[in-house]
Amino acid sequence: MKALVYTAPNQVVHRDEPDPAAGPGEVLIRVEAVGICGSDMHAFHGHDPRRVPPLILGHELAGEILAGPGKGRRVTVNPIIACGRCEYCVQGRDNLCANRTMIGMQRPGGFAERVVTAASAVIDLPEGMDVRAAALTEPAATALHALALASRALARPVPECSVLVIGGGAIGLLAALLLRTWGARRILLAETNALRREAARRASAVEAFDPLAGGGPAEGAMDLVVDAVGAAPTRKAALAAVKPGGVVLHIGLQDRASEIDMRKLTLAEVTLIGAYTYSTADLRAAARALHEGAFGDLAWVEDRPLAEGARAFDDLHHGRSAAAKILLRP
């Protein structure tokens, strides 16, 4: 089969790879569409020690089961393969599974014509769901999971809250779109790339601004701040922008360490929440929400052939794409 293989830092190659076969308890999936994630870009840059080349990256996929339980069904997958037995799995928090593995990390991923995963990781799609929407299930579930955690910590319901989202990549944009559907009172989006700012304005009718140009909210003005970048300056900006008693939701993973203003956190009783991926329940809810239009028309998503994947990585690397999500089609 053809696959897009990460062979060395800053290099992905479209080439022939051995055909995968499903073992016991596994399914073989024909990939119809697979999204390029920020974490794939991070690996591509050689910054993820967990993703070692040569490796087929990609974990945001939708397709059809060719072999194994559920043959013929159209599905997406939970890229995290959880053990089902540890303390966290038993609580339904499979994203924290102590024994988890992931496709596109420890196992070959979805930038390929076919992929094998555990039958237990399969998520059924709503009848007739569009494949482009289906391939967005994973990032949408990330946004949904994070906002569900934040909404439990907010003092007032979301429709009464002003929200700053930092970062107009897929997770930031999907979070803004869901917040709009949930009726947030005001949504600001900070994004430094002008192409993405424009795309976000069109897609979500949020107030998108350039944080480097000095726009944005006053200090201590926002009930909720979503950091979908996770860099040292965005963490600082998030904590500065949040109101006393407000919530900072941290999803991005760009910088490992940075200083946090623990004095403000303490004196202003700010709640700081880390959010990582999703549970199976979040993935099912996200697929349903996407199918029902809770994330809008998704016109901002771009499709390209898998064979041109190297170009897509390069365009994302150089900030030449306005699309917050590029899907590859094998």
Least separation, in Å, of the C-beta of 329 and Zn ion? 17
Nearer to Zn ion, 48 or 210 (CB): 48
Q: Is the dihedral of CA 291, 321, 249, 62 positive or negative?
A: positive
Nearer to Zn ion, 60 or 227 (CB): 60
Least separation, in Å, of the C-beta of 260 and Zn ion? 25
Least separation, in Å, of the C-beta of 268 and Zn ion? 32
Does residue 325 contact residue 35 with C-beta atoms inside 8 Å?
A: yes
Nearer to Zn ion, 83 or 281 (CB): 83
Nearer to Zn ion, 29 or 161 (CB): 29
Binding site for Zn ion (CB under 5 A): 37, 60, 82-83, 86, 89, 97
Length in residues, the chain: 330
CA angle 64, 121, 179 (to 5 degrees): 90
DSSP codes of every residue in 188-241: EEE-S-HHHHHHHHHHH--EEE-GGGT-SPPTT-EEEEEESS--HHHHHHHHHH
Least separation, in Å, of the C-beta of 114 and Zn ion? 20
Least separation, in Å, of the C-beta of 201 and Zn ion? 24
Residues 6+ apart with CB under 8 A from 320: 195
User: Distance between CA 204 and CA 300 in Å, rounded?
Assistant: 10
> What single letter denotes the amino acid at residue 230?
G
Nearer to Zn ion, 82 or 248 (CB): 82
